[in-house]
Structure 1
């Protein structure tokens, strides 16, 4: 078995049955649909209450996945076809694709070497901006205070993609806390996983709009039967989270502090073992990172591939996080969405640095001996890693 298994952020056999009360309650009554027809409170409701509080928002709604959460958030915030939305250039393609899926144009915000977005891109944006989406990467929180100030000055909503950043914090606070809309994911490799799943947190009015957009457009008075005659009903899709998924999420949410503590401890051990021989790509506030991944920078893109292959041979997982920015994928070039962007808007740092950023995940299940083996593998192949960038 691999020392660091990227699919082992949640491993059901590794948990005691006594720690999975929500999961067993759902299995016990067989109510797998989010609208539970029994005295048991819906696990979806518990998840929504937990994360509304966690992100400091008025309300939250669970949805099918994080990408859906981003798309519905944009729709609920009033982003229209042709609008321009600033998006962290160094991010998964789903972030920009969510913008494109509502007919808007994703405009990249470049990064610096501490994974922080360039707020100047917002201040000097060429043309009006309808919303800003900041993405927290691989458990590293982006400081969003300056972006928050600029969004307030422009009167546009700030969306924080916390899909990879649950539990992370910067000097500006917890990831998601300063956003108008915080979106997270429960996909396999996240801090909390149900295979797929997502959540949107924000104001009560915005969450209600997302709720309808994910529930076939219906208005549910007091969470009851769907009402499609209500004038607030809309045409929409079914993008709900199941009870079984929500139960898995809730059982892990109750143990989130422990998960973060164990990951941070493993990451600290790894960094200590590496010492001064390897340079780690840290955020501006390493103590606030969730500890889920340790990042390095390869000398070249070719070195990045060789490093990953070498660690794989030693049964340790290492990956290039994202080989391209969203602008460089054929699907965006062919769409014509990037044609109107000037050369000044292309993210030079993200394009140059992105293919060289490497990630080693550290599951909370990895023992100290496993962390030592990861460190040994990294040190064995440190010739591929850059000391500065």
Structure 2
């Protein structure tokens, strides 16, 4: 029995080779380093230009992965030791780790049942705030308009982590558009995948600093050799993306809307077959979701485990997305004081109960029906009213 995976966005072996124009060009060219020689324009440059426009920013730069992108963005904004950064509590632990990596303190923002952060901590901050890092999780776009207003009132930057929600939109627009800095990822389970990779988009000066920090701190004149004598040089790291990765990203960027449309069609078909008795976990703007999976809420953590076991027996791989919020992990309990990471009650209660099941673009109609049948058979483990 073929197991259906909820997080399968991109499978290179299943793609039409003729659609991978940039990838094939890079293979034929043989130059895998981002600073290519000759007439071919670097695929890194192509994706940087493309996504600067996509996020409506002045510039963008490719980096090794999304976590690195967050860390470099924070550093470029001047966030450092002792600074308090509000971070969505229900998010992948890498988001809080990026904050900790620059010496700052991640402070959890609780959420509601539509995966939207609670703005109370911004409406009436209980301490200084240096920045806000909002995470668009599981293909759901957070409405960022009110957050943008509150950040402007406080005079702090808004960072949008779009790593899991490239192409998603809320009533306030596309995820990443309202941020001072938008960061996305091209890791295997993302909307666009090159195995690993990431990108930072924002103002030209900030992006230039991120670019240099990811390029060993060097200044490059017209894309030439690195110059460490220039007064703008700084201590950096080697966090570049390869040409092979960037070319895969560019090919998928050109078909992203078709990919998202196919996934939305799969989700719609699943919902129709589930019927009204099996409610899903929706964002506040479900027509703008960009997920390859559909979310449900279990009655309890025990029900979540039994639901996953039951689906696996039917050949469907369901997952509890994250069993706990980041401040509940032992790592953060050890390195942060309880005052620095107050328990996000609503997020902590929901996290071990949020489940994902597959609705990827690769699912046939028959496969969608198989998922629906499995979910219906086990829906007694799910919350019945949303």
TM-score grouping bracket, smaller chain normalisation = over 0.9
Partner of 2:349: 352
Show CA shifts across 1:275-307 (max 9, x none). Answer: 112111100111111142211000000111111
Partner of 1:247: 247
State yes or no: 1:80 paired with 2:80. Answer: yes
Distance 1:264 1:130, change over 3 A: same
CA contact (8 A) 1:2 1:317 kept: no
CA contact (8 A) 1:327 1:338 kept: no
Partner of 1:60: 60
Q: How does 1:9-28 map to 2 (within 5 A)?
A: 9-28=9-28
Range with bigger deviation, 84-93 or 273-282:
273-282
CA contact (8 A) 1:293 1:359 kept: yes
Task: Report the Cα offset of residue 109 of structure 1.
Answer: 0.4
State yes or no: 1:367 paired with 2:364. Answer: yes
Partner of 1:212: 212
Show CA shifts across 1:64-122 (max 9, x none). Answer: 00000000000001101000000000000000000000000000000001111011111
State yes or no: 1:50 paired with 2:50. Answer: yes
State yes or no: 1:385 paired with 2:363. Answer: no
Distance 1:387 1:338, change over 3 A: farther
CA distance in 2, matches of 1:232, 1:251: 34
Q: How does 1:36-47 map to 2 (within 5 A)?
A: 36-47=36-47
Q: Secondary structure at the match of 1:295?
A: strand
Distance 1:49 1:247, change over 3 A: same
Task: Report the Cα offset of residue 29 of structure 1.
Answer: 1.1
Partner of 1:341: 340
Task: Report the Cα offset of residue 359 of structure 1.
Answer: 1.0
CA distance in 1, matches of 2:102, 2:177: 25
CA distance in 2, matches of 1:354, 1:115: 10
Show CA shifts across 1:110-160 (max 9, x none). Answer: 000111101111122211111000000111111111110000011100000
CA contact (8 A) 2:219 2:227 kept: yes
Show CA shifts across 1:7-32 (max 9, x none). Answer: 63111222221101111111101100
Show CA shifts across 1:244-277 (max 9, x none). Answer: 0111111111110110110000000011111112
CA distance in 2, matches of 1:362, 1:276: 18
Partner of 1:115: 115
User: How many pairs align?
Assistant: 386
Partner of 1:230: 230
CA contact (8 A) 2:49 2:59 kept: yes
CA contact (8 A) 1:91 1:325 kept: yes
Q: Secondary structure at the match of 2:327?
A: helix
CA contact (8 A) 1:295 1:360 kept: yes
State yes or no: 1:138 paired with 2:138. Answer: yes
CA distance in 1, matches of 2:349, 2:66: 27
CA distance in 2, matches of 1:287, 1:113: 17
Task: Report the Cα offset of residue 371 of structure 1.
Answer: 0.7
Q: Secondary structure at the match of 1:62?
A: strand
Aligned-pair Cα RMSD in Å: 1.2
CA distance in 2, matches of 1:169, 1:363: 18
TM-score between both structures, scaled by the size of structure 1: 0.97
Partner of 1:311: 311
Task: Report the Cα offset of residue 2 of structure 1.
Answer: 3.6
Q: Secondary structure at the match of 1:106?
A: strand
